[in-house]
Amino acid sequence: MKSNLFTKINIDPAKLPGHVAIIMDGNGRWAKKKLRNRVFGHEKGAETVREVITTCRELKIKILTLYAFSTENWSRPEKEVNTLMKLLKKFIRSEKDELHNKSIKLNVIGQKERLPIDVIEELDLAIEQTKDNTAMVLNLALSYGAREEITRAVRKIAYEAKQGKLFPEDIDEEMVSKYFYTAGMPDPDLLIRTSGEMRVSNFLLWQIAYSELFISETLWPDFTRDEFINILRDYQKRDRRFGKVLCS
């Protein structure tokens, strides 16, 4: 049955990315185009999130990391921040059983402690419920900023060095990455950004060193399963050289 699906969509399951990261952008512009307020765009965006999670699970992609709220997004008007937090809580509450049924493990990357207490509680319930799931990991980047992540890692390493728990000469790339929110996970193979913006906006700066980039012009609420599959097909055609010369 499953192999039928891959044949139907012309995807080679052996060449799928193990880790997909997405900068979900364009909710506000989508709503503006429809002469609606930004909240409407965020609500519609949540439906796209559901569809992308389902598609990743179906295709057996092991890790999906979604940029949902950046450290910089705290500077948006208080009303918009509050609405986003409410939507987040509602989303987690309504989706947690479905995530669990699909054997998806929920994980948060970012400053979880900065989120409102009721959102933290809802997240913690879902994290606890899904903690032993093995089919897929869903990383939600919340109050996430790569510079904060790197700074936090440096601070922890410095502290441990000061305590004599590690020696500066032992610090290598592998060790540094263990201090990130993404510790233990492979780097994203594919990074998608919607809404046509050609920037990474402080997302996973270290981890995307060799990710394949894909910028879609589509605004996030209009992003579909079909477009996602097209991107995966495009990804499969890329030569990932990692700085080396490919032997032919």
Q: Where does this chain bind ligand IPE (CB under 6 A)?
A: 23-29, 67-70, 72-73, 84, 195, 197, 199, 201, 220
Q: Which is nearer to ligand IPE, 81 or 166 (by Cβ)?
A: 81
| Closest approach of ligand IPE to the CB of residue 46, in Å | 10
| Closest approach of ligand IPE to the CB of residue 65, in Å | 11
Separation between Cα atoms, residue 49 and residue 45, nearest integer Å: 6
Q: Which residues contact 79 (CB under 8 A, 6 or more apart)?
A: none
| Closest approach of Mg ion to the CB of residue 197, in Å | 7
73 is catalytic: yes
Residue 142 half-sphere exposure toward CB, CA atoms < 13 A: 21
Using an 8 Å Cβ cutoff, are 31 and 104 in contact? no
| DSSP characters over 87-137 | HHHHHHHHHHHHHHHTTEEEEEES-GGGS-HHHHHHHHHHHHHTTT--SEE
Q: Does 25 bind Mg ion (CB under 5 A)?
A: yes
Measured from each CB, the residue nearest to ligand IPE is: 28
202 is catalytic: no
Which range touches Mg ion (CB under 5 A), out of 10-18, 23-31, 82-90, 117-125? 23-31
Instruction: Render the burial of 175-187: b for 16+ CB within 10 Å, e for the rest.
Output: eebebbbbeebeb
Cross-strand bridge partners of residue 69 = 142
Q: Which does 223 bind (CB under 5 to 8 A by kind): ligand IPE, Mg ion, none?
A: none
Catalytic hit among 4, 10, 25, 82: 25
Q: Which does 84 bind (CB under 5 to 8 A by kind): Mg ion, ligand IPE, none?
A: ligand IPE
CA gyration radius, the chain: 19
**Hey, what are 226's tokens?**
């079909």
Q: Which does 191 bind (CB under 5 to 8 A by kind): Mg ion, ligand IPE, none?
A: none
Q: Which residues are catalytic?
A: 25, 73
Give contact residues for Mg ion (rule: CB under 5 A): 25
